Amino acid sequence: MADFGVSYFIKALSSVLTLILLVIIYSYLYNLENKGCACALTKDFSFIKGFTIFAIIYLLFSAMIPDEALYNNLGGNVVLINKFVDLIFVLVFIYYLYEVFKYTRYLVNEKCKCSVDSRREIIMIGSMIEFILIFVLFLLHIIIFVVASTFFNVVRSVNEGADEIREVIHDPISSIRKVPERLASSVREIRSDLGKTINEVGRTVKNTRGNNTYKLNV
């Protein structure tokens, strides 16, 4: 029960803080536009305002529809697509936070008097902290995935390569004939890996739901 409470609290707190930052950004931008602050209406203003609205809607929508609901109603393929969409959103969101920080710094450096507001400093500091945290976590996930995948593929390639080289030396004609078969085998392996990934996503969703239910009952 304690583990569930802590993990849920951290995730909920992170989402709430992000949403609060987005709401502050939108209210600040709306105020600048409403009072006609010309020095604040830069070329990046429309993108920042538009993506702020989109991010608020996306985060609220994602929070209301958990992965287990998608898996139970639409299957593992949809969950996998949803994860890919989440990845794209995170990449764009990292860029968005950078643009927000750069925008607020521009207002300070240009001494845009009509943009002076306590929210400006909150947005500047908040976007910088969020950018660093998300970027570092994303980078760590990528590094871990790449290192693990590379190590596995290198070991497998060395083993398979040694066998193929020996076969080419002893029987080159037979090796050439087996090229189409090897290509077909590679395609089958890709399909198999994709199927395993989808099944693994499904099992993870089911296990997460089962563990949460058990801990809640406890």
Give me the mean pLDDT over the 1-7 stretch: 45
**Residue 76 and residue 54: Cα distance in Å, rounded?**
26
More confident of the two residues 31 and 175 = 31
Instruction: Give the list of residues 6+ apart from residue 200 with CB closer than 8 angstroms, or none.
Output: none
* DSSP annotation of 190: H
**Residue 185 and residue 159: Cα distance in Å, rounded?**
16
Q: Could you give the 3-state DSSP secondary structure of residue 200? A: helix
Q: 35 φ, ψ to 5°?
A: -95, 5
Helices 179-217 and 76-109: angle between axes, nearest 10 degrees: 80
- Hey, where are the domains in the chain? 2-143, 145-217
User: What is the rounded average pLDDT for all residues in the chain?
Assistant: 75
Structure token digits, residue 148: 């693990």
Per residue in 104-121, pLDDT (tens digit) is 999 999 999 999 999 999
Return contacts of 43-50, CB within 8 angstroms, 24+ apart.
Answer: 44/99, 44/102, 44/103, 45/103, 47/96, 47/99, 48/96, 48/99, 48/100, 48/103
* DSSP annotation of 116: -
Task: Give how far the C-alpha of residue 80 lies from the chain's centroid of Cα atoms, to the nearest Å.
Answer: 12
Q: Please work out, in degrees rounded to the nearest 5, the angle formed at the alpha carbon of residue 50 by the alpha carbons of 29 and 58.
A: 115
**Residue 24 and residue 86: Cα distance in Å, rounded?**
23
Give me the mean pLDDT over the 206-213 stretch: 52
Per residue in 121-152, pLDDT (tens digit) is 999 999 988 888 887 877 777 777 777 667 66
CB 119 within 8 A of CB 24: yes
CB 124 within 8 A of CB 105: yes
Per residue in 22-77, pLDDT (tens digit) is 999 999 999 999 999 999 999 999 999 999 999 999 888 877 766 666 666 666 67
